Amino acid sequence: MGGRRNRKRKRKVKYVWGNRLAVIGITAVVLSLGAVVELGASSLREKDEAYRAREQSLEKAYEKELARKEQLKEYQIYVQTKEYVEKVAKEKLGLVKKDEILFKPDESR
């Protein structure tokens, strides 16, 4: 009977150690998975910050382009006026109105 108890005891000890090893192994796997998830989350946070900064810069650029669009609309309207046509004719083409006298400075001095 002493041998039988010894065998049961050894089995019980093996069973306890087997359970402990299983629990330790599972704990190690869970901890390693937690570490991997945390690393992934931190890289996602960094990407999120970069995307937010880019979004802000794009919004600023968009606002600038809207302002430029308004300026171009105003310029388009101005280009279609008689005042603009006369200005270009005088500056670029050297044209004058019928009743205007053009004085040029003496270039010999």
pLDDT digits (tens, 9 = 90+) for 25-52: 999 999 999 999 999 999 999 999 999 9
Q: Compute the distance between CA of residue 49 and CA of residue 39 in angstroms, rounded to an integer.
A: 16
Q: Compute the distance between CA of residue 93 and CA of residue 82 in angstroms, rounded to an integer.
A: 15
Q: How confident is the model at residue 92 (pLDDT cuts 50, 70, 90)?
A: confident
pTM: 0.51
Q: What are 56-83's pLDDT values in tens digits?
A: 999 999 999 999 999 999 999 999 999 9
Q: Compute the distance between CA of residue 70 and CA of residue 67 in angstroms, rounded to an integer.
A: 5
Q: Compute the distance between CA of residue 83 and CA of residue 93 in angstroms, rounded to an integer.
A: 15
Q: Compute the distance between CA of residue 102 and CA of residue 104 in angstroms, rounded to an integer.
A: 6
